[in-house]
Structures are given as structure tokens and as C-alpha cells.
Amino acid sequence: MKFGRRAQEEGESIPLAPLIDIVFLTLVFFMTTTVYSTLESEIDIELPTASTAEQSERSHGEIFINLRDDGRIIINNREVTLEGLQEILNRVAEHFPGGAVIIRGDRDAMLGRAIAILNCCRNADIQNVSFAALEEDVEETG
């Protein structure tokens, strides 16, 4: 019996199945993060500027609500009514307690619609609500 010699002749091999799994999982991860990062920036909204604006980190369960200048509310490239928004926020609050809502309102958007969005957030018991703004340029402030 020549068990020792046979093992030496075959040599070490790299298991390809786990390597392929890791490559595909990494690919799927980057594809999904790219899709979500472009969803909120695809809508043509002119954000207002503020001297205290700062870039925030993305969190799990975070939802972007886009408020157009004509008062339309858009989430994930889909226009919703206030009733539809309330249903979405209720589901978000149920599945992601403590989730954040970021309102991306156009600088010419109606304040009444922003207040209606805030009211929907409060009804869904979402406390972490913020407004998106761009940082002011030094030339604009002077």
C-alpha cells in the first residue's frame, strides 16, 4: 500500500467553490449598495444650502423622502400620496425601530407639504427625522 506517496503526488489544491461564492457575494453586495446610493440622487431636486450642513453616515432602515417643488412626494422613484406615505412609514417603523427619515425637499417646495410629511413621521412614531441640505459656498455667504 502506497498511501503516503499518492497524497504527495496530488499536491495541495485550492477549493474553488468557496472562492467563487465569496466573489459572487462581494459582487452582489457592491451592486446593491450602488443601486441604493443612486436612488435618492436620481430625482432632480435643488437642495437648499445651510452653513451648518454636514454629510451624515447612512444607517440601516434609513428612508429618503423627496419633496418636489410642485409638492409631489417621491420615494424610490415612485410618486406617493400622503396616505401611501403613511403606510410606508408605518411599515418602516415596524421593521426598523429607530430608523431615520431624511426629507430631501426642493428649495422651492411648499412648507405645508413638509409639515404634512413630518406629521406622517410622527404618526408612525419615527423620531429621527432630518432635512437634507447642501453646504453653503464661501462666496454665497459674503
Tell me the chain's radius of gyration from C-alpha atoms.
Answer: 24
* CA–CA gap between residue 25 and residue 99 (Å, rounded): 26
Query: Residue 10's pLDDT is what?
Result: 62
- Does residue 11 lie in a domain region? no
In this prediction, residue 142 carries a pLDDT of 44
In a domain, 26, yes or no: no
CATH number for position 70: 3.30.420.270
pLDDT at 128: 86
Domain annotation covers residue 100: yes
**pLDDT of 76 above 50:** yes
Quote the pLDDT of residue 63.
Answer: 83
User: What does the pLDDT average to over 14-40?
Assistant: 77
pLDDT beyond 80 at 91: yes
The answer to the question of residue 19 being in a domain is no
User: Domain span at residue 67?
Assistant: 39-141
Q: Is residue 63 within 8 Å of residue 100, measured between CB atoms?
A: yes
Residue pair 99/62 in contact by the 8 Å Cβ criterion: yes
Q: What is the pLDDT of residue 140?
A: 46
Tell me the pTM.
Answer: 0.59
Mean pLDDT (whole number) for 116-130: 90
**Average pLDDT estimate for 74-81:** 88
The per-residue pLDDT for 77 is: 82
Structural domain includes residue 8:
no
pLDDT digits (tens, 9 = 90+) for 41-70: 556 666 666 766 566 665 566 788 888 888
Q: Is 89 a member of any domain?
A: yes
Specify the pLDDT at position 4. Answer: 57
User: Residue 100 pairs with which residues in a beta bridge?
Assistant: 128
The total number of structural domains that make up the chain = 1
130 in a domain, yes or no?
yes
Measured on CA atoms in the order 132, 40, 76, 58, is the torsion positive or negative?
A: negative
**Residue 135: beta bridge partners?**
50
Q: Measured between alpha carbons, how far is 87 from 81 in angstroms, rounded to an integer?
A: 10
Q: What angle do CA 41, 100, 132 make, to 5 degrees?
A: 40
